[in-house]
Each structure stands twice: as structure tokens, then as C-alpha cells.
Amino acid sequence: MQTFQELWQLLTGPDGELRGIVYTTLRLCLTSTVLSAALGIPGGAALGLYRFPGRKFLVRICRTLMGLPPVLAGLAAFFLLSRSGPLGQYKLLYSVGAMVTAQIMLGVPIAAGLTQSVIASSAEAIRETAYGIGLRRCRLLGRTLHECRKSFVSIVCLTFGQCLSEVGAAQICGGNIAGKTRVMTTAIVLETNMGDFKMAGALGILLLLISFGIMALGAWGVRADE
């Protein structure tokens, strides 16, 4: 109980560090989620809807990457963004931008893979209706995305959940810099390493509450749509 009081003070008190951490976390995860969904959902829909050579192989790659361990995504982004890497000149390592890069590697396969499986299951029916009302091939994608929009809310929520919960990529690409790239998960690791398990746990509960809030917002969006 005392820990929660302490947490509440940190959250509302004059020292804005924890508020900064929550803000960075939301900024990071929302950016990663929006970009992952923007790339992953149309990509996944195309994989589910169209027939083209190499499609099955791409689907398999996508499935494999859905289980990509966050530390591996972090390491890949590290190689890419380090000064000694190909994109080193942009000086992105240890910034929120670097964390977004790594989280997109995690988010895009999830968004694409889930979209592909949702669409594949109803692709035949949609295609028939679309041809029935005389839609052209290129407009099929737009129509399908519109038909399946409700599933996309849960896909976006799952992608967000992955970004919010991972720690490996955030640690490697962000470096857990106080006031700059420290997010909820890396702060929990830090508190755990300093032996303050209670504070780590309290931060964890706060993280879950934030997650709950975002998911409730998503559910509200779906209800309002109906």
C-alpha cells in the first residue's frame, strides 16, 4: 500500500520523471503501432487477397517474424543505426526514433500476419461479391479493408500490446537514458536490478492500467462503429 502511495506521489508530485516515462512510453508505442498498422494491414490484406507467385513463401516469412524475439529486433535495429552501421550518419541510435524502428520490425509482421489470416478466411466470399457488383481488381483491396474494419481494431490493439510490453528492443536501441528513452518496461528492469521489487511491481501495475485504458478505448471505438 505504501508503495502505491509512493507511486502516486511520483505520478502527481513536482518531480515529473515518472510522468515523463509514461509520456515517452505512450509516444513510442502509439507511433510504432500507427506505423506498423499502416504498413502491415494493407500488406497483409494483399497477401490474403491476391494470388501471385511467391505468396506462400511470403506468408511463411511473415508467420516466422510474428515470433521474432524483441531483443533480436533490437539487435537488428542496432546494427542498422549504429554509427558503424549503414544508417549511422543519421545519428538515430539511443533515441525514440531508434526504438520505433525496432518496434516496427516487431509490429509489421504481427499486423500483416493477423490481417492475412482474417482476410484469407473470407477472401473467396468477398471476391465473388466484388466481381458480382463489378468491382475492379484494384478496388477490391479497398473494399475488403472496409468490410473487415472491425477485425482491424483488435489487430491494432494486439500490435500495440506487443510494443507496450516488449523490453529487449527498447533497452538495446533506447539505452534506457533517463529523461530521454526510459520507458515503463526498461524502468521496471532497472528497479528490479536495483532490488526494489515493490516499486518494480507497482510500475508494472501502472503499465497494465495504461494498457487497459487503451484497450477500452479500442472497444469503445468498435461499439460506436456499430
Partner 1 sequence: MKKTLALLLSLLLAFSLFACGEKALDGDGLTEASTTEPVIIPENPVIRLSTTTSVNDSGLLPAIVPVFEAATGYTVEITSAGSGAAIEKGRTGDADLLLVHSKASEEEFLAEGWSPARIPFMYNYFVIVGPANDPAGVASATSASEALKKIAESSSTFISRGDDSGTHKAELKIWDTAGITPAGDWYVSAGQGMGAVLNMAAEQQAYTLTDKATYLAHEQKSQLAMLLEKNDELKNTYSLLAISPEKWPDTNIAGAQAFIEWITSAEGYKLIDEYGVNEYGEQLFFTMPAESLTVPVTSNTEPDAPTEEATTLPLAA
Contact of 188 with 207, CB cutoff 8 Å: yes
3/61 with CB nearer partner 1: 3
When the beta carbons of 33 and 185 are compared against partner 1, the nearer one is 33
Closest approach of partner 1 to the CB of residue 35, in Å: 8
Question: Which residue among 69, 86, 88, 213 contacts partner 1 (CB under 8 A)?
Answer: 88
Among 13, 86, 179, 213, binds partner 1 (CB under 8 A): 179
Query: Which grid cell sits at 145?
Result: 479493408
Per-residue binder mask for partner 1 (CB under 8 A), 48-87, x = binder:
----------------------------------xxxx--
Between 62 and 166, CB nearer to partner 1: 166
Minimum gap (Å) between residue 59 Cβ and partner 1? 26
Residue 133 within binding range of partner 1, rule CB under 8 A = no
Cβ neighbours of residue 2 closer than 8 Å, sequence gap 6 or more? none
Using the rule CB under 8 A, give the single segment among 30-38, 41-49, 68-76, 108-116 that binds partner 1.
Answer: 30-38
Instruction: Tell me: does residue 128 bind partner 1 (CB under 8 A).
Output: no
Which of 174, 193, 172, 196 has the alpha carbon at shortest distance from 183?
174
Residue with cell 511463411: 60
Q: Mark 15-38 as b/e (b = at least 16 C-beta within 10 Å).
A: eeebeebbebbeebbebbbebbbe
178 CB-side CA count, 13 A: 5
Distance CA(197)–CA(195), nearest Å, equals 6
Question: Is residue 142 within the footprint of partner 1 (CB under 8 A)?
Answer: no
Residues 197-226 that bind partner 1 (CB under 8 A): 197, 217, 221-222, 224-225
Residue 61 or 82: the one with the smaller Cβ distance to partner 1 is 82
Q: DSSP characters for 121-168?
A: HHHHHHHHHHHHTT--HHHHHHHHHHHTHHHHHHHHHHHHHHHHH--H
DSSP string, 92-127: -SSSHHHHHHHHHHHHHHHHHHHHHHHHHHHHHHHH
Q: Contacting partner 1 (CB under 8 A), which of 15, 139, 180, 219? A: 180
Residue ranges that bind partner 1, judged by CB under 8 A: 26-27, 30-31, 33-35, 82-85, 88, 93-97, 149, 153, 175-180, 190, 192-197, 217, 221-222, 224-225
